[in-house]
């Protein structure tokens, strides 16, 4: 029996590829850079299954030319790069990898919060590039002062799995938790003592605002100039969700004009972020290259879940994390 064809748009862990080879005729794009759209299109036209990353544009043009394609298995929880509505219309399954990256992403969110609050990157540069030595400062009572978290308010925008885990850790830091979401989570309110508020209230009352919503038509530029102006001048803005939830130009303006005190960003409207981007000029901003889920454990679990989805599809079962039921 001929095996269905599978194109994987970037290298995965070898044990997962080997597992998939038992069921599929597998082709892997083995370059570090994403395959160009034309390559994706060419592959989509001939395969039965695709493994995609958030950098692969899977639009309706591509999907409608993919005559044999039955499943797009995304290696990410977010799938804003895929036209799911179109896939559903064409009877193509779309799957993602929720759950397995909650801890890694929540931990990275905290790494950013602490880095910005305690000026970790700035302080590292101060030592590394010799400024501490040159200035002969030694220990000074006013050197590199940051802010403490205990007793402060953590505002979570989007109380899904990751937002909730970030809130739990915030509670352990002795923070007051406030959240905005499309719907209330009364259980979380009980367990975390979290307060449900409007978006504007969360923005204006929080000391740290952390974004955990998916990118959709509704959340695109949800944090714009008007919203940034509502934040405290001492507040820090953290984003480990999707870059386009924040209007980048507005954020640059907010940082320049001191509407907020700093930001920690793992995601950007333009990825990779160009080295001369205005955001790179601010000392009070920590920038990371979209590594929220980048731990060995999590990336392996994500790849395993992609394989589970594909194998379930191959065996005629419903993929466990199907997006378009």
Binding of ligand DGY by 76 (CB under 6 A): yes
Is 165 noted as a catalytic residue in this protein? no
Rounded Cα gap, residues 299 and 13, in angstroms:
9
Site for ligand DGY in 293-312 (CB under 6 A): 293
- For 144, the 3-state DSSP assignment is coil
Binding of ligand DGY by 101 (CB under 6 A): yes
When the beta carbons of 78 and 158 are compared against ligand DGY, the nearer one is 78
Spell out, one character per residue from 47 to 66, where the chain touches ligand DGY: x when CB under 6 A holds, - when not: -------x------------
Burial of 74 (0-12, 13-18, 19+ CB in 10 A): buried
Binding of ligand DGY by 292 (CB under 6 A): yes
Is 271 noted as a catalytic residue in this protein? yes
Residue 77 beta carbon to ligand DGY: minimum distance, rounded to whole angstroms? 4
Question: Does residue 272 have a cis bond before it (omega within 30 degrees)?
Answer: yes
CB of 285 closer than 8 Å to CB of 273:
no
Rounded Cα gap, residues 7 and 25, in angstroms:
8
Among 271, 297, 317, 318, the active-site one is: 271
Q: Segment near ligand DGY (CB under 6 A), from 44-52, 72-80, 125-133, 308-316? A: 72-80
Is 140 noted as a catalytic residue in this protein? no
Rounded Cα gap, residues 59 and 80, in angstroms:
10
When the beta carbons of 109 and 293 are compared against ligand DGY, the nearer one is 293
Among 164, 165, 212, 242, the active-site one is: 242
Rounded Cα gap, residues 96 and 275, in angstroms:
31
Binding of ligand DGY by 177 (CB under 6 A): no
Write out the two tokens for 2. Answer: 């001929």
Rounded Cα gap, residues 190 and 167, in angstroms:
13
Binding of ligand DGY by 78 (CB under 6 A): yes
- The site for ligand DGY (CB under 6 A) is made up of 54, 76-78, 101, 292-293
């Amino acid at each position: 029996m001929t095996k269905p064809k599978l194109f994987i748009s970037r290298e995965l862990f070898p044990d997962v590829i080997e597992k998939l080879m038992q069921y599929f005729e597998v082709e892997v794009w083995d370059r570090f850079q994403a395959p160009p759209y034309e390559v994706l299109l060419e592959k989509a036209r001939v395969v039965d299954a695709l493994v995609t990353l958030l950098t692969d544009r899977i639009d309706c043009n591509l999907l409608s030319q993919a005559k044999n394609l039955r499943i797009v298995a995304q290696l990410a929880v977010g799938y804003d790069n895929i036209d799911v509505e179109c896939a559903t219309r064409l009877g193509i399954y779309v799957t993602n990898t929720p759950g397995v990256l909650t801890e890694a992403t929540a931990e990275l969110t905290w790494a950013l919060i602490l880095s910005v609050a305690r000026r970790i990157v700035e302080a590292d540069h101060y030592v590394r590039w010799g400024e501490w030595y040159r200035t002969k400062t030694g220990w000074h009572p006013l050197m590199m002062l940051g802010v403490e978290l205990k007793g402060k308010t953590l505002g979570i925008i989007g109380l899904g799995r990751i937002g909730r885990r970030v809130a739990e850790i915030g509670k352990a830091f002795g923070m007051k938790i406030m959240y905005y979401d499309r719907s209330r989570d009364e259980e979380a309110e009980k367990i975390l003592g979290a307060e449900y508020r409007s978006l504007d209230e969360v923005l204006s009352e929080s000391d740290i605002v952390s974004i955990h919503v998916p990118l959709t038509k509704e959340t695109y530029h949800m944090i714009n100039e008007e919203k940034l102006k509502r934040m405290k001048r001492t507040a820090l803005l953290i984003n480990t969700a999707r870059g386009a939830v924040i209007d980048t130009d507005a954020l640059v303006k907010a940082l320049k004009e001191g509407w907020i005190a700093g930001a920690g960003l793992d995601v950007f409207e333009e990825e990779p972020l160009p080295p001369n981007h205005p955001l790179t000029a601010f000392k009070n901003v920590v920038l990371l290259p979209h590594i929220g889920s980048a731990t060995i454990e999590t990336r392996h679990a994500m790849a395993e879940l992609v394989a589970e989805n594909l194998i379930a599809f191959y065996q005629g079962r419903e993929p466990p994390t199907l997006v378009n039921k």
